[in-house]
Amino acid sequence: MSETLLSASADLARTPLYDLHCSLGARMVPFGGYSMPVQYPSGIISEHLHTRTHAGLFDVSHMGQAILEGKNARRRLEKLVPGDLQALGPGRMRYTQLLDYEGNILDDLMVTRLDGEASHRDEDEDPDAGAHERLFLVVNAGTKRADFAILAGELRGLALTVLDDHALLALQGPKAASVLSRRIPAVAHMPFMSLIETVYDGVSLRISRSGYTGEDGFEISIPAPLSARFAEDLLADEEVHPIGLGARDSLRLEAGLCLYGHDIDTTTNPIEAGLLWSISKRRREEGGFPGDERIRLAIAHGPLRRLVGLTLEGRVPAREGADITSTAGQIIGRVTSGGFSPSLGKPIAMGYVDPAHALKGTLVHLIVRGKALTAEVAAMPFVPHNYYRGA
């Protein structure tokens, strides 16, 4: 999920944790229209490895949060996304994409069906008219205004409440559950991709077991005025370190997770991006979302290109935009994300190639500063996911 680095001259917003980041010695950079911490004094590699072994706290308050509610909210939102929202039970969440009418990705987002829908139903309502449903949405920072405009325009009659008054924190890593459960015991046995609404120290929170690192962890939506105090409480635990955007990017790359505006955008569809798993059998067969015919064709005949993982020889990384060529020198694709993997101790990358070169083990070249670096197509994730799957 993703945002675009902006020029330093941009008029930048600040998250509710801006002052805390500065007090912790963060180096702040423009990102998604906000001034955000890219790293802290310990450095990106240290932050990355600490998250893989302990717990890291990320400020993701720049992301867009909203409540979409009204009659048949799931069924109506399904008309804009390929995800199976009608099968979504209370308190469960799903990853999906907002598509244009060519089937290309306008944004990717998380959709959660909230509990407590019955309490919002009018006793005089016709029960056959459709249930009142509440959905919690999290979208990317760089696209959130456009996303919310689309939702408001296409889903008239549903109420869209943008939660600009809320911060969003991500606590990620193998120690995240023990750290958070000491404060909020109910999180200990939450299933992966679920959400609870709870109260801690008089503060209302929405806590999901999800994240963007490949590790177990949680995302915590909290009223902005109280977010710094809550973050400081978590950081007081010796297991928790603050983590910036640099390590967030290397963690998600190792986990093989797409970054919007880089690995997926308005020129890519979910099939070529390797996101077929996010479209259920029912939705593949029934369609009923933008670009469904193109998606079905890509499923039936295969996409014209595929997103693949790449591991490089040596120590020099290939960055976004580098050409991918066959060993004979023919351009076959382009790198969309790349960097050094602290966990593996070598460079890794993601990029699109033609189907003939997408098989695991295929050797290709990545062109970096005019030099051809040898790389091998690799399975993703590069580092195994460690999501909580229950006792």
Asked if the structure places residue 389 within a domain, the reply is: no
pLDDT at 115: 86
Asked if the structure places residue 198 within a domain, the reply is: yes
- The answer to whether residues 220 and 357 belong to one domain is no
- The answer to whether residues 239 and 352 belong to one domain is no
The CA-based angle 188-113-123, given to 5 degrees, is 120
pTM for this one? 0.94
CATH code, 376: 2.40.30.110
Please give the share of the chain, as a percent, with pLDDT higher than 70: 94
Span 150-172, mean pLDDT? Answer: 98
- The answer to whether residues 374 and 234 belong to one domain is no
- The kind and range of the H/E element at 75 are helix 73-77
What are the phi and psi torsion angles at 183 (to 5°)?
Answer: -100, -40
Residue 369 corresponds to which tokens in the numbers above?
A: 């500063």
Residue range of the domain that includes 371 = 305-383
Is 205 in contact with 376 (CB distance < 8 Å)? no
Instruction: Say how far apart CA 52 and CA 54 lie, in whole Å.
Output: 6
Residue at a domain's end among 247, 277, 303: 303
Number of domains observed in the structure of the chain: 2
pLDDT at 376: 98
Is 197 in contact with 204 (CB distance < 8 Å)? yes
- Distance from CA of residue 300 to its chain's centroid? 27
Residue 11: pLDDT band (50, 70, 90) is confident
Of the listed ranges 124-128, 168-172, 314-318, the one predicted with least confidence: 124-128
Neighbours of 136 (CB within 10 A): 21
- The answer to whether residues 206 and 350 belong to one domain is no
Kindly report, residue by residue over 329-367, the tens digit of the pLDDT.
999 999 999 999 999 999 999 999 999 999 999 999 999
- The answer to whether residues 262 and 316 belong to one domain is no
- The answer to whether residues 252 and 360 belong to one domain is no
Asked if the structure places residue 390 within a domain, the reply is: no
Asked if the structure places residue 9 within a domain, the reply is: yes
Residue at a domain's end among 274, 303, 332: 303
Residue at a domain's end among 303, 337, 357: 303
Query: Does the pLDDT of residue 129 top 70, yes or no?
Result: no
Is 270 in contact with 292 (CB distance < 8 Å)? no
- The answer to whether residues 272 and 360 belong to one domain is no
Query: Does the pLDDT of residue 231 top 50, yes or no?
Result: yes
